[in-house]
Structure 1
């Protein structure tokens, strides 16, 4: 059954990788694993997704170790298997590069989860969502997009290629500390 044009919506959810360990002796930034708080935060965000019946048609992620581990702990929280498409372009990508990845998504998917890094994810939200008065969620993102946070942006488009700057509505922004104060800044 074809979609009615008034009801067409693509949903993009952005997930910043969880808190990584700087104390781990790794040779490359790419190989940094999560720390204990990061594992707990990713699991808690997964529980939030499960509790709010949030599902994704497709997942695209940076292949960095901290993203891989974030997805593993997110999946434990959701109780579902998450099988992402690993895309090297997402690793430390700019907002413009991330927008390219989004616009290339297959239109058979209506709900896309993109797992990556800052500042690219934060900049992407600010690029895609217009700055409106009294938009508390966007203001929070502009202040900081913390690790393991999720932002959901809705677009009134049929094709991912039609996603444009200032064309989205930020329908959700959730930080781990919103779900558990023990996952806030300076907690471990």
Structure 2
């Protein structure tokens, strides 16, 4: 049994906040799409053989980012697990979603928002990072760990995949 890998991916750059559109409905801007494509290509090089699961916040910008990455890694967009609870989530709420992932999954990609994703990375890995838009934290679980046993201070931050 190999080690499991978790990617925490912050959504790409989105439209500015405005009174005309709810925060939840903000879409990616061209610069965000470009950066997401660049980081997705790099992430593709990190993936290893095995079962992949993709979970995304239901907010427009997170779903759009997840779809860009899925196009690059060959993951069917219709198989993205949408989780409303990831929108505006605290790190422990995100961890609750991760802890429910089947042991059959080898690689998990979670698309969401700050500050929750950066705080979760720091909580799991005893790190001090701040994820920028479209960047991915690559987290390695200890040998023998499944996603349901992941908890504070148990994992290693291997790298941040950036453009």
Q: Normalising by the residue count of structure 1, what TM-score does the alignment of the two structures yield?
A: 0.77
Gaps in structure 1 of 5+ consecutive residues: 131-137, 177-188
Task: Report 1:59-138 matches (<5 A).
Answer: 59-78=54-73, 80-82=75-77, 83-130=79-126, 138=127
Instruction: Give CA deviations for 1:17-73 in whole Å, capped at 9, x if unaligned.
Output: 000011677431100000111000111112112344457610111011001111222
3-state secondary structure, aligned to 1:92: coil
Question: In 2, Cα distance between the equivalents of 1:159 and 1:50?
Answer: 22
Q: Normalising by the residue count of structure 2, what TM-score does the alignment of the two structures yield?
A: 0.88
Equivalence for 1:22:
16
Equivalence for 2:145:
158
Tell me if structure 2 keeps the 8 A contact 1:14–1:150.
Answer: yes
One of 13, 36, 40 as aligned partner of 1:42: 36
Aligned Cα RMSD in Å?
2.0
Tell me if structure 2 keeps the 8 A contact 1:42–1:148.
Answer: yes
Equivalence for 2:159:
172
Q: Find the structure with the greater CA-based Rg.
A: 1
Gaps in structure 2 of 5+ consecutive residues: none
Aligned pair count reads 160
Question: In 1, Cα distance between the equivalents of 2:18 and 2:110?
Answer: 26
Question: In 2, Cα distance between the equivalents of 1:38 and 1:81?
Answer: 21
- 1:12 and 2:6 aligned: yes
